[in-house]
Structure 1
Amino acid sequence: MKEKIVERVKELLQPLIEERGLKLVDIEYITAGKPVLRIYVYNPEGTSIEDCEWISRRIGALLDIEDLIPVSYILEVSSPGLDRKLKNKEEYEIFKGRDIKIVTKEPIEGKNVFEGILRGLEDSKVVLETEEKTIKIPLESISRANLEFKIGGE
């Protein structure tokens, strides 16, 4: 049921997201307590409150028409956050150019922690530009990957 709702919301959102020039990062439907439908959108030029409000008004109206969620729920639309944990392979393309920290399950070239600039995904490998070199880390080797927010070149 939850998966069906998330998939249908994704179908309804896609044209709206494209119209606004945004990228859909994630959808969560949480049913514990009062249900919450949480939508994360990303604008490469900087996600604004206006972007979130615009999506919220439009998807809210569509969800009311579709009567997709039969109970009262909370709708939240937000940016993914500065230090977001990457959850799916599409996000490695969405957040190209951002600082990232990757922790691997097993050492690669003697290291488990890598920091650098995300350059995308190639053949199921995350391309990371570190201070020393560019490295490709297989997706299945990643334990955790988070966007990093650095102030003033720290």
Structure 2
Amino acid sequence: MDVVEEVRKLILPILDELDLKLVDIEFTKENRPILRVYIYDPKGTTIKQCEIVSRRLGELLDNEDLIPYSYILEISSPGLNRKLKNKEEYEIFKGRNIKIVLKEPMDKKNVFTGVLEGLEDDKVLIKDNDKLIKIDLDNISKARLND
């Protein structure tokens, strides 16, 4: 059983109802297992939203007995300078400032900053001073929100 995928199935209806986006789920089994869920509201994720999601997801997890041992449940926003980890995040964070470091230089530059415009045909679109820049997803070494 893949805990992350099962949690994804449980949480998506909750987030849809609250008009929130799922950014990431992490499940670590270090000293004490931790289930971390990152949620996002383009208008600003609030503590109250995190509390509501935590309570509702916690109840579902207890009822489903998905994790049959003691663990910590953490619900939070992705943070101001989050490192982008997957393709979906380039759509989720559309409109936010971003800094992208390339593997191979493009136009003699390997660092670009601007406003994230989304993803199109595996190219990340950023606007820098009214100029639209298209960067191949495969050429990105690191991408981070830059607010």
Secondary structure of the structure 1 residue equivalent to 2:80:
coil
- The letter for the 2-side match of 1:81 is G
Tell me by how many angstroms 1:131 deviates. 2.1
Aligned partners of 1:16, 1:88: CA distance in 2, in Å?
A: 22
Per-residue CA deviations over 1:65-88 (Å, capped at 9, x if unaligned) read 111111100000000000000000
CA offsets 1:12-41 (integer angstroms, 9 cap, x no match): 001000000000000000101100000000
- The answer for the alignment partner of 1:152 in structure 2 is none
- The aligned residue for residue 116 of structure 2 is 118
Question: What TM-score do the two structures reach when normalised by structure 2?
Answer: 0.98
Distance 1:132 1:88 in 2: 26
Paired with 1:108 and 1:60, the residues of 2 have a C-alpha distance of 46
Which residue identity does 1:39 align to in structure 2? V
Alignment of 1:1-154 (within 5 A): 1=1, 4-131=2-129, 133-149=131-147
Output the CA distance in 1 between the equivalents of 2:146 and 2:49: 22
Q: For 2:87, what is the secondary structure of its paired residue?
A: coil
Give the TM-score of the pair, scaled to structure 1. Answer: 0.94
CA distance in 2, matches of 1:19, 1:81: 22
Q: Tell me the alpha carbon deviations over residues 57-104 of structure 1, each in whole angstroms, 9 at most, x when there is no partner.
A: 000000001111111000000000000000000000000000000000
**Sequence identity (%):** 61
Moved >3 Å (runs of 4+)? none
How many residues are matched? 147
Distance 1:94 1:132 in 2: 21
Q: Structure 2: any 5+ residue segments left out of the alignment?
A: none
Residue identity matched to 2:32: K
* Structure 1, gaps ≥5 residues long: 150-154
